[in-house]
Structure 1
Amino acid sequence: MRISFSACKPAQAAPPLVNFPGSGGGLINMDQLIIPRRQRHKDKVVVVMGSTGTGKSRLSIDLATHFDAEIINSDKMQVYKGLNIVTNKVTDEECKGVPHHLLGFIDPEDDFTADDFVRHASLAAENITRRGRVPIIAGGSNSCIKALVNDDIEFRSKYELCFLWVDVSVPVLHSFVSRRVDRMVDTGLVEEAKEFFEPGGDYTRGIRRAIGVPEMDEFFRNEFYDDSERSKVLEEAINQIKVNTCKLACCQLGNILRLGEQLDRRMYRLNATEAFLRRGVEASEAWERLVVGPGSKIVGRFLHEGRIDYVSAFTTAPPMATTNAVAAAIR
């Protein structure tokens, strides 16, 4: 049989997409029913929370060295330039080569709000995931974390989240915080805070809000006291720093518990109390066994298997002593 190519019909354009009636009486084009790829696939983000002093930064760095990850700081005081000791920023040595974002990049005089954090953290997370790495958000400013992961619809539409909560019993944490303040004083807290002292200064905005600056105001204003009186004023200031830090830790814990309920308890509690009670090698071993080990397993399952067993979330509810301490601090 002889085929005449001249008789063949030319290829026709694809038929127009079929339209269906919409609920408002208009038409829905078929291409509106196709789910964009970005909506079908969500990048993964790990969120590490905890009260001040519980080891959030340490765990996030431990996880980042296990996985191909970078850290986004969510501490609203550590975003400012300066006061590295007062705000307890991680040192270069402690970072272990892990890239950190949103750390020491805001002018000390500026205000940094939860909305500012959402904008900067979203850009950082997008930059990290675009390079095929995992963002780990870590810090104690739960208002910032809540604004990002619970209130920001766009962020929730882009990312699947895994929440880790590093917890330490309140009495043990308060004892640790007190010793940590003493170490900060030994390494230059007073001298560092003095750089930001201004007679009649405003301690309600910028980096001067950081615990460790307002408490030193009277000591700096009265430099002509005799040595005995100055020592007394300094001691009172340091004690007030400890008290305010402990109050902050309790308030942060209360915020974490509330956020956990808002997240339907989809949060893993890693109890680090035993690691804080031990010293030296035993403390490191307890940290690996109770915090890093379980945390790595949870994150590994989340990243590689794409699932989270939320039955394990909020395991071992905080003891009643913790709940009572939080309530007392909030009152």
Structure 2
Amino acid sequence: MYGFCTPMVHVNGISKLQAKKNYPSLDMLAGGQKKVEVNNVPQKHREKVVIIMGATGTGKSKLSMYLAKCYEAELINSDKMQVYEGLDIVTNKVTEAEQCEVPHHLLGILDPYADFAVERFCEMALVSIESILSRGRLPIIVGGSNTYIEALIDGEEYKFRSKYDCCFLWVDVSLAEHQSFLSIRVDQMVENGMEEELRKMFDPNVDYSKGIFRSIGVPEFDQYFRTEPHLEKETRKKLFRKGLSEMKENTCQLARRQQEKIHRLKDVKGWDMHRLDATEVFRKQGKEAEGAWKDLVATPSKRIVDQFLNKAGHQLARVSGH
């Protein structure tokens, strides 16, 4: 493994340990000494890249972990909030145990106050892709920041489509079922310790338009943490419920915007997406939900990726038993 569960030391916003152990060229990007050019490498054929898209909370991470274990794959995070270190509950990062099982890139590597422009994401993602391919593994890009993905795929300066052959998997859920789940998920965050996590990160002087502090769930509780020491118990509870309600509403709004962006990429820009309707998964519970996920998401996805990888004689090692 690559030491994904070891502590990190930050240099210019990027974890130096992650840069050296996981991303051989990211230390140059961190120091701003050299812009890595990946388009000038001669290629006899276009390499394969899988991209998993979908609104927040649709199960992209679960699918990416499944596919990573089916193939010799490594994951590249494209969620612009999960790239920061900290607020693991609020930003819904995969657990450390899961990270240790599958190599992850661009996950929890930036200082919470650092800037992360779309151009920086594209540069770092391209370095990660080349690093993964150099080891004979499959790069899987996964995350909900569709603006970042669009810039990477269609940005003229990156020449992505001339270099890589893409397979787009879109995990979709009906709006009603999805919003009900998102509300429940926020409540689960509270049970998992979200309040204490936010309290430790609270800074009365922070700029909520910068870094990880843009995450939904952070500005919504500003008034609560700012006035908490001076209020009675019932008033504090009322303010907390207010922040929780705003967080749920803003999360649902984000999901709607993400769905709209995906539809635009598919219907207007003509991206060839494989839609996986996971609605029935969210309508069921327990073993029934797992069975539906296998039938409606996991199995179709693996079949699609198999066909994608076998096209044009592409060879990639697969893990037996999947």
Specify the alignment match of 1:164 in structure 2.
169
Displacement of 1:305 in angstroms is 2.5
Specify the alignment match of 2:75 in structure 1.
71
Correspondence for 1:254 among 246, 255, 260? 260
Displacement of 1:262 in angstroms is 4.7
Q: 1:115 to 1:87 in 2, by over 3 A?
A: same
Q: 1:134 to 1:262 in 2, by over 3 A?
A: farther
Correspondence for 1:277 among 279, 283, 305? 283
Structure 1 Cα separation of the partners of residues 132 and 50 of structure 2 = 12
Structure 1 Cα separation of the partners of residues 132 and 275 of structure 2 = 26
The 5 A counterparts of 1:104-253 are: 104-152=108-156, 153-223=158-228, 224-253=230-259
TM-score (norm 1): 0.79
Question: Which deviates further from its counterpart, 87-96 or 36-45?
Answer: 36-45
Give unpaired runs (5+ residues) of structure 1. 1-35, 308-331
Correspondence for 2:102 among 77, 98, 101? 98
Displacement of 1:37 in angstroms is 9.1
Correspondence for 2:304 among 298, 301, 304? 298
Question: Which deviates further from its counterpart, 218-227 or 94-103?
Answer: 94-103
Q: 1:98 to 1:253 in 2, by over 3 A?
A: same
Structure 1 Cα separation of the partners of residues 268 and 135 of structure 2 = 31
Greater Rg, structure 1 or structure 2? 1
Structure 2 Cα separation of the partners of residues 52 and 306 of structure 1 = 34
Structure 1 Cα separation of the partners of residues 234 and 162 of structure 2 = 60
- Secondary structure at 1:268's aligned position in 2? strand
Specify the alignment match of 1:88 in structure 2.
92
- Secondary structure at 1:162's aligned position in 2? strand
- Secondary structure at 2:101's aligned position in 1? coil
Number of residue equivalences: 272
The CA deviation string for residues 87-139 of structure 1, in whole angstroms up to 9 with x for no partner, is: 01000233471111000001111111111110000000000001100000000
Structure 2 Cα separation of the partners of residues 283 and 93 of structure 1 = 23
CA contact (8 A) 1:49 1:166 kept: yes
The CA deviation string for residues 23-66 of structure 1, in whole angstroms up to 9 with x for no partner, is: xxxxxxxxxxxxx9934301100000000000001111111111
Q: 1:37 to 1:71 in 2, by over 3 A?
A: closer
- Secondary structure at 1:249's aligned position in 2? helix
Structure 1 Cα separation of the partners of residues 291 and 165 of structure 2 = 31
Displacement of 1:154 in angstroms is 2.5
Q: 2:285 is matched by which residue type in structure 1? A: R
Structure 2 Cα separation of the partners of residues 195 and 294 of structure 1 = 42
Displacement of 1:264 in angstroms is 1.7
Q: 2:114 is matched by which residue type in structure 1? A: D
Q: 1:120 to 1:265 in 2, by over 3 A?
A: closer
Structure 1 Cα separation of the partners of residues 204 and 165 of structure 2 = 48
Structure 2 Cα separation of the partners of residues 213 and 240 of structure 1 = 11
Structure 1 Cα separation of the partners of residues 73 and 86 of structure 2 = 26
Q: 2:250 is matched by which residue type in structure 1? A: N
The CA deviation string for residues 170-215 of structure 1, in whole angstroms up to 9 with x for no partner, is: 1101010001000101111111112221224210111100011100
Q: 2:283 is matched by which residue type in structure 1? A: L
Specify the alignment match of 2:3 in structure 1.
none
Structure 2 Cα separation of the partners of residues 37 and 110 of structure 1 = 30
- Secondary structure at 1:199's aligned position in 2? coil
- Secondary structure at 1:163's aligned position in 2? strand
Give unpaired runs (5+ residues) of structure 2. 1-39, 314-322
Structure 2 Cα separation of the partners of residues 158 and 193 of structure 1 = 42
Specify the alignment match of 2:12 in structure 1.
none
Q: 1:171 is matched by which residue type in structure 2? A: A
CA contact (8 A) 1:61 1:96 kept: no
* Higher RCO (C-alpha 8 Å, min separation 6): 2
The 5 A counterparts of 1:43-82 are: 43-82=47-86
- Secondary structure at 2:208's aligned position in 1? coil
Q: 1:301 to 1:96 in 2, by over 3 A?
A: farther
Structure 2 Cα separation of the partners of residues 208 and 268 of structure 1 = 33
